[in-house]
């Protein structure tokens, strides 16, 4: 199984899972680059996975979908073209390519946001980013915090495929939120080198996020010291971080 990033818009990635001559795409906001890749590599689209309803994740469904192509998306959101609504606890099983994903409810960015986990990979849409997390548009900060904590219970080697190239901006905020984090500083240098070479900073993995991402480090004394919230709950620390990031 090979997972390929297809750039779209300014900073989106459509993820394409390839096995043999069959492919699955995740969050195709734009059909055009996906169609070009499929044609160039003589691939047949077998399924589409959708994490949430925002147009930059769903806009290509209409052009890509066919009656024989299942489109899996969140049962809690109304998305044109979704043929198989799924929610937390459901699974997505495909025969060609042979894939099995667990569906996880991760509300916060949107109310019905879901993630797909399997084969040691996580497609999490706009919930968890490399060194950051999504904005709270429809849910609550508490919901998004709990969603991130749920994702962090997955195996640490899980590779994370989010859908935006936000890493350098997120790392700049992380440096402000937790100035004394040598592991984060080393990681930032490596990510800058990737971007200088026009390479994606994704995927990352959950073990790395536990070390460098302030939004999953709300229990860290250094993050709490920056915010002057030593005695706050983790939810209060997360809410303060998210509000600060909105204005950063």
Q: Is 164 a catalytic residue?
A: yes
Choose the catalytic residue: 30, 56, 105, 234: 56
> Which residues are CB-neighbours of 199 under 8 A, at least 6 positions away?
none
185 belongs to the catalytic site? no
**Torsion (CA) 94, 98, 100, 101 in degrees, nearest 10:** -80
Contact, 48 vs 72, CB < 8 A?
Answer: yes
Residue 155 CA to residue 71 CA, distance in Å, equals: 27
Q: Which of 52, 53, 113, 146 is catalytic?
A: 52
Position of tokens 């950063």?
248
For the chain, where are the alpha helices, taking DSSP H only? 31-40, 55-58, 61-64, 141-151, 167-177, 182-196, 206-212, 221-227, 234-247
11 catalytic? Reply is no
Residue 52 bears catalytic tag = yes
Catalytic (active site) residue 53: no
Distance separating alpha carbons of residues 160 and 19, to the nearest angstrom: 19
Choose, from 27, 117, 164, 234, the residue flagged as catalytic: 164
Q: What is the dihedral of CA 1, 87, 85, 25, to 10 degrees?
A: -20
Q: Check 57, 113, 145, 146 and give the catalytic one.
A: 57
Which residue among the candidates 30, 105, 126, 234 is catalytic per the annotation?
Answer: 126
Distance separating alpha carbons of residues 225 and 30, to the nearest angstrom: 42
Q: Which of 53, 54, 117, 145 is catalytic?
A: 54
CA 149 to chain CA mean position, Å: 14
Query: What positions carry a catalytic annotation?
Result: 52, 54, 56-57, 109, 126, 164
């Amino acid at each position: 199984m090979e997972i390929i990033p297809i750039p779209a818009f300014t900073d989106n990635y459509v993820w394409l899972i390839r096995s043999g001559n069959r492919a699955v795409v995740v969050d195709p906001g734009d059909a055009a680059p996906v169609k070009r890749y499929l044609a160039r590599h003589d691939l047949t689209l077998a399924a589409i996975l959708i994490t949430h309803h925002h147009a930059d994740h769903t806009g290509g469904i209409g052009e890509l979908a066919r009656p024989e192509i299942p489109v899996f998306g969140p049962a809690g959101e109304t998305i044109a073209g979704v043929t198989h609504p799924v929610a937390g606890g459901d699974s997505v099983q495909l025969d060609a390519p042979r894939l099995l994903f667990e569906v996880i409810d991760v509300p916060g960015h949107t109310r019905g946001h879901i993630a797909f986990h399997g084969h040691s990979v996580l497609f999490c849409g706009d919930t968890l980013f490399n060194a950051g997390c999504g904005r709270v548009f429809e849910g609550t900060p508490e919901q998004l915090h709990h969603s991130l904590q749920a994702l962090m219970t997955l195996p640490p080697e899980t590779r994370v495929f989010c859908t935006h190239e936000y890493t350098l901006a997120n790392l700049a905020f992380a440096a402000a939120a937790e100035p004394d984090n040598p592991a984060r500083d080393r990681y930032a240098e490596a990510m800058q080198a990737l971007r200088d070479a026009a390479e994606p900073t994704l995927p990352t993995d959950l073990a790395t996020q536990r070390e460098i991402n302030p939004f999953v480090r709300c229990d860290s004394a250094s993050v709490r010291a920056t915010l002057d919230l030593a005695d706050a709950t983790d939810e209060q620390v997360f809410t303060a971080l998210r509000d600060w990031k909105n204005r950063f």
